[in-house]
Amino acid sequence: MELSFVNRYDLYLFDINVPLMNGIDLLSALREAGDLTPTIIISALVDVASVTKGFIAGADDYLKKPFDPEELLIRIKAKTSTLKKKVVFQEFEIDMQREEIFRNGKPLYLGTVQKHIFLSLLRNRPNPVTKDELMLLLEKPSDLALRVNITKLKKSLDIQVKNIRGVGYKII
């Protein structure tokens, strides 16, 4: 734990139930200290409340036990491949490490929920993001809240987001 405040890492892989301090408390402390290192939480706690706590603490991903090791490797590659990458989409440039969004070179400020939805859609482009994944980004998850946030995002950024029936949403 102490080394995480001194050294820079490409990725954190935390479990929730570990001796002395749980992974969510550690992640919260790191985020409060300004550490934005991508983090994947692995846990046997699979209820929505536990998953929500993980994302509220600042997790970028949450993998439920038991899991396939290949899936973990895919998620690690997905998180680390964007570390030094700037994504350009239409008139937007996104620093994926800092999660900063620029439109025509000027910083763009979105609410936390809409920002994370936008970033999630961009990370997965051209594939859809599942409805369940997007729900985890909401403060009070519901179908209506998700639709409202997607609609606001489309309107404020003038982008096209398509609902893939029975799957989720994708940016086009």
Amino acid at 56: I
Min mean pLDDT across 27-41, 140-154, 156-170 is at 27-41
Q: Are residues 54 and 90 in the same domain?
A: no
Q: Are residues 66 and 125 in the same domain?
A: no
pLDDT confidence of residue 157:
94
- Residue where a domain stops, chosen among 25, 47, 80: 80
Q: Are residues 107 and 152 in the same domain?
A: yes
Q: Are residues 94 and 167 in the same domain?
A: yes
Q: Are residues 55 and 103 in the same domain?
A: no
Question: Is 60 exceeded by the pLDDT of residue 107?
Answer: yes
Question: Is 70 exceeded by the pLDDT of residue 101?
Answer: yes
Among the residues of the chain, which ranges form H helices? 2-6, 23-32, 48-57, 69-80, 112-124, 131-135, 143-157
Domain ranges, residue 91: 86-171
Average pLDDT, the chain: 88
Q: What is the DSSP string of 32-54?
A: HTT----EEEEES--SHHHHHHH
Query: Distance (Å, rounded) from C-alpha 51 to C-alpha 24?
Result: 10
Question: Is 60 exceeded by the pLDDT of residue 161?
Answer: yes
- Give percent of the chain above pLDDT 70: 97
The CATH number of residue 102's host domain is 1.10.10.10
Long-range pairs of 102-106 with CB within 8 A, sequence gap ≥ 24: 103/157
Q: Are residues 124 and 165 in the same domain?
A: yes
Q: Are residues 59 and 102 in the same domain?
A: no
- Residue where a domain stops, chosen among 80, 103, 134: 80
The per-residue pLDDT for range 80-91, each reduced to its tens digit, is 765 557 888 899
**Domains of the chain: total:** 2
* Residue with the larger pLDDT of the pair 65 and 1: 65
pTM comes to 0.54
Question: Is 90 exceeded by the pLDDT of residue 163?
Answer: yes
Residue 61's nearest CA partner among 75, 45, 71, 43 is 75
pLDDT confidence of residue 102:
92
Residues forming a β-bridge with 88: 93
Q: Are residues 102 and 156 in the same domain?
A: yes
Min mean pLDDT across 62-66, 96-100, 126-130 is at 96-100
Q: Is 161:154 a contact under the CB 8 Å cutoff?
A: yes
The CATH number of residue 40's host domain is 3.40.50.2300
- Residue where a domain stops, chosen among 80, 97, 112: 80
Q: Taking residues 23-39, report their average pLDDT.
A: 87
Half-sphere exposure of 103 (CA within 13 A, CB side): 7
Q: Are residues 69 and 129 in the same domain?
A: no
Report helix, strand or coil for 61: strand
The answer for residues whose C-beta is within 8 angstroms of residue 35's C-beta and 6 or more apart is: 4, 5
Q: Which position has the token pair 């987001």?
A: 161
Q: Are residues 100 and 164 in the same domain?
A: yes
